[in-house]
């Protein structure tokens, strides 16, 4: 099983983020267009695209299809980014072992070699060096072709219009989840500009489904701007766009840490999932719309198979309850919108009883994020913090733990007890032991880099 990023991809990180389609299009040509060997559901969004991808891929697999899934970033292993789930049996195996279906070492090495050779030819032609994400995208295309998949669920890396996944001329459907202010230095500093970039995945004559902006965490003015931009781009591309309003009024949290809600695209049937949060109702509904669009191509897709797939959907580190006694919950709330969604979820667990208790918090964030905004949403959402363990994530962009601690105290307007270590693995271990003794809920949150770094440690402890 591949654990670390291959060296040649690590070296490509120096080329940074460089939006554009010329390099990936030429790479695909040099590799004999592997992206044309399968059908695709293409998913973009600021928040929720990973969860929507998980829902869609599980529904397709539960329908007996061989499904490729491309997501980013990875949490624990590089190989998580490229996965194949082969039908119902594959989905069962994935539920038992979350490393199932990941691209194996030998395939990754072989396809990396092919991609590296193609990249060298590209540079010889006078084209810029491809970025790491473009190279990974090309490897993904090659692996899906080799595996002879039926359909792929492709998550964009950044934006949409110039993202390296945006090479499909005839997607089954394009999906846009919630939009928010993130990566503004690249995508733009207004909701309209960001919506424009996301809408770049719309394709002429193909359906698109977008969460109704009024259901996003936006001001009324921002929601109107997003809706206008998305509608204008759909009209310009002659793409049929439907704004989807999830049935959040039907949401019911169960005593077994699951959630139920109705999905109109599935005949209004009640679905149950372990992915928690009102926002997951929207992500699931969008995914169901896209999957049902594939029914004419793949007749094995039924309402019942989709409900089965939703029940079996898993997605790590998004309000993931990894232990119940003491309660340990992991969430990659790395921007204010994500933090607000998490606070809303936390407030609903166990009928609203958990949020009444003070919590122990392990947190690490990147310094280029809106840290005050993230912490502010926790406070506004009613999360009480009795003890905080600010940690230094294994990433050069990590926020300094002392600065993070000061921000938390400033936002909460009190001096909160601080844990004794800023090393993530040590902090998690010590915090877990303390929660085991006093029963205090343990929240591990912030950057997905942190969650990937410590999730394995938590699994070893429980």
Q: Which helix (H) or strand (E) is 17 found in, with range?
A: none
Instruction: Specify whether 83 is located in the same domain as 232.
Output: yes
Instruction: Specify whether 306 is located in the same domain as 325.
Output: no
Three-state DSSP class for 284?
A: helix
Q: Quick one: three-class SS letters along 427-440?
A: HHHHHHHHHHHHCC
Instruction: Name which of 127, 174, 143, 177 is nearest 18 in CA terms.
Output: 127
User: What span, in angstroms and rounded, lies between the C-alpha atoms of 328 and 212?
Assistant: 32
Instruction: Specify whether 301 is located in the same domain as 337.
Output: no
Identify whether 157 is part of a domain: yes
Which residues are bridge partners to 385 per DSSP? Answer: 359
The enclosing domain of 62 has a CATH number of 3.40.1190.10
User: What span, in angstroms and rounded, lies between the C-alpha atoms of 62 and 311?
Assistant: 10
Identify whether 44 is part of a domain: yes
Identify whether 381 is part of a domain: yes
How many other CB atoms are found less than 10 A from the CB of residue 378?
Answer: 26
Instruction: Specify whether 274 is located in the same domain as 169.
Output: yes
Per-residue pLDDT of the chain (462 residues; tens, 9 = 90+): 444 567 767 777 766 678 899 999 999 999 999 999 999 999 999 989 999 999 999 999 999 999 999 998 788 889 999 999 999 999 999 999 989 999 999 999 999 999 999 999 999 999 999 999 999 999 999 999 999 999 999 999 988 999 999 999 999 999 999 998 766 677 778 999 999 999 999 999 999 999 999 999 899 999 999 999 999 999 999 999 999 999 999 999 998 889 999 999 999 999 999 999 888 999 999 999 999 999 999 999 999 999 999 999 999 888 999 999 999 999 987 788 889 989 999 999 988 999 999 999 999 999 988 999 999 999 999 999 999 999 999 988 999 999 999 999 999 999 999 999 999 999 999 999 999 999 999 999 999 889 989 999 998 998
Instruction: Specify whether 349 is located in the same domain as 301.
Output: no
The enclosing domain of 341 has a CATH number of 3.90.190.20
Which of residues 258, 290, 311 is at a domain's end? Answer: 311
Q: Biggest alpha carbon distance in the chain?
A: 64
Which of residues 311, 330, 363 is at a domain's end? Answer: 311
Identify whether 1 is part of a domain: no
Q: From the centroid of its chain, how far is CA 266?
A: 23
Identify whether 439 is part of a domain: yes
Instruction: Specify whether 239 is located in the same domain as 346.
Output: no
Domain holding 53, by residue range, is 7-311
Instruction: Specify whether 245 is located in the same domain as 328.
Output: no
Instruction: Specify whether 327 is located in the same domain as 372.
Output: yes
Q: How many domains are contained in the chain? A: 2
Which of residues 276, 311, 346 is at a domain's end? Answer: 311
Instruction: Specify whether 304 is located in the same domain as 179.
Output: yes
Instruction: Specify whether 328 is located in the same domain as 284.
Output: no
Instruction: Specify whether 77 is located in the same domain as 46.
Output: yes
Identify whether the C-beta of residue 355 lies closer than 8 Å to the C-beta of residue 440. Answer: no
Identify whether 207 is part of a domain: yes
Identify whether 2 is part of a domain: no
Between the CA atoms of 10, 397, 450 and 100, what dihedral angle is there, to the nearest 10 degrees?
-20
Instruction: Name which of 166, 192, 164 is nearest 180 in CA terms.
Output: 192
Instruction: Specify whether 294 is located in the same domain as 325.
Output: no
Identify whether 31 is part of a domain: yes
- CB burial of residue 47 (10 Å; 0-12, 13-18, 19+): buried
Strand order in the sheet with 259-263: 247-253, 259-263, 269-273
pLDDT digits (tens, 9 = 90+) for 416-436: 999 999 999 999 999 999 999
């Amino acid at each position: 099983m591949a654990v670390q990023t291959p060296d040649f991809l690590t070296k490509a990180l120096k080329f940074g983020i460089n939006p554009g389609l010329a390099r990936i299009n030429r790479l695909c040509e040099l590799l004999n267009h592997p992206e044309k060997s399968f059908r695709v559901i293409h998913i973009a969004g600021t928040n929720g695209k990973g969860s929507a991808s998980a829902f869609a891929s599980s529904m397709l697999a539960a329908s007996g299809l061989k499904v490729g899934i491309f997501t980013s970033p990875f949490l624990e292993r590089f190989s998580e980014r490229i996965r194949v789930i082969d039908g119902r049996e594959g989905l069962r195996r994935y539920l038992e072992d979350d490393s199932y279906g990941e691209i194996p070492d030998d395939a990754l090495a072989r396809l990396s070699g092919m991609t590296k050779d193609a990249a060298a030819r590209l540079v010889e032609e006078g084209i810029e060096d491809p970025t790491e994400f473009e190279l990974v995208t090309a490897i993904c295309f090659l692996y899906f072709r080799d595996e002879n998949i039926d359909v792929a669920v492709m998550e964009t890396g950044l934006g949409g219009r110039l993202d390296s996944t945006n090479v499909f001329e005839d997607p089954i459907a394009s999906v846009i989840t919630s939009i928010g202010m993130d990566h503004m230095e690249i995508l733009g500093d207004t909701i309209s500009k960001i919506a424009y970039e996301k809408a770049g995945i719309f394709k002429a004559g193909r359906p698109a489904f977008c969460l109704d902006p009024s259901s996003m965490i936006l001001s009324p003015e921002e929601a109107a701007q997003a809706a206008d931009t998305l509608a204008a781009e759909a009209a310009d591309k002659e793409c049929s766009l439907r704004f989807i309003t999830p049935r959040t009024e039907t949401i019911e949290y169960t005593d077994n840490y699951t959630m139920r809600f109705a999905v109109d695209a599935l005949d209004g049937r009640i679905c149950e999932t372990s992915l928690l949060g009102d926002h997951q109702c929207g992500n699931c509904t969008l995914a169901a719309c896209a999957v049902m669009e594939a029914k004419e191509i793949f007749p094995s897709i039924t309402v019942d198979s989709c409900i089965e797939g939703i029940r079996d959907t898993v997605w790590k580190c998004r309000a993931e309850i990894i232990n119940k006694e003491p309660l340990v919950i992991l969430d990659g709330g790395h921007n204010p919108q994500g933090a607000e969604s998490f606070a809303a979820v936390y407030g609903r667990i166990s009928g609203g009883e958990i949020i009444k208790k003070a919590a122990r918090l392990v947190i690490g964030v990147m310094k280029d994020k809106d840290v005050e905004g993230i912490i502010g949403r926790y406070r506004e959402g009613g999360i009480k913090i009795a003890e905080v363990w600010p940690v230094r994530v294994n990433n050069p962009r990590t926020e300094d733990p002392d600065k993070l601690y000061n921000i938390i105290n400033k936002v909460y307007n009190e001096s909160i007890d601080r844990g004794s270590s800023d090393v993530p693995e040590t902090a998690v271990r010590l915090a877990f032991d303390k929660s085991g003794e006093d029963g205090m809920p343990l929240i591990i949150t912030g950057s997905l880099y942190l969650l990937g770094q410590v999730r394995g440690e938590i699994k070893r402890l429980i």
